[in-house]
């Protein structure tokens, strides 16, 4: 019994790795065709999803990338692994002319 109790105390004091989406501004202003860099940290595998107006834009297990925002609107950036979920929401404002 003593071994089990000691083991439980040791396991309960271990801090689990945190899943984190890098800080995002509440508003992202960009020009059409320019890229938006994103990254997440945590214990792999990390499942990352970008959602625009309730539609999935992309799903990936990459921990960083570049995405070209082409539509104004509200976005949710969701990262999930076995230890939890982190969500960042932002509004994209596309200004200027389209790049050729």
Separation CA 55–CA 57 (nearest Å): 6
Give the model confidence (pLDDT) of 40-72 as tens digits: 999 999 999 999 989 999 999 999 999 988 888
Q: Which residue, 98, 99, 36, is CA-closest to 68?
A: 36
Predicted pLDDT at 7 = 41
Cα–Cα distance measured from residue 9 to residue 12, given in angstroms and rounded to the nearest whole number: 5
Question: Which CATH fold topology does 18-94 show?
Answer: Immunoglobulin-like (2.60.40)
Among 35, 73, 38, which Cα is nearest to 54's?
Answer: 73
CA angle 54, 46, 65 (to 5 degrees): 75
Tell me the two tokens of residue 60: 């990936």
């Amino acid at each position: 019994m003593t071994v089990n109790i000691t083991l439980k105390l040791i396991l309960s004091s271990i801090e689990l790795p945190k899943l984190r989406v890098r800080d995002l501004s509440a508003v992202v202003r960009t020009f059409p065709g320019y890229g938006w860099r994103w990254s997440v940290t945590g214990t792999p595998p990390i499942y990352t999803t970008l959602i625009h107006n309730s539609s999935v834009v992309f799903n990936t297990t990459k921990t960083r990338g570049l995405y070209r925002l082409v539509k104004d609107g509200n976005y949710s950036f969701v990262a999930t692994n076995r230890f939890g979920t982190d969500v960042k929401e932002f509004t994209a404002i596309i200004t200027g002319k389209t790049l050729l």
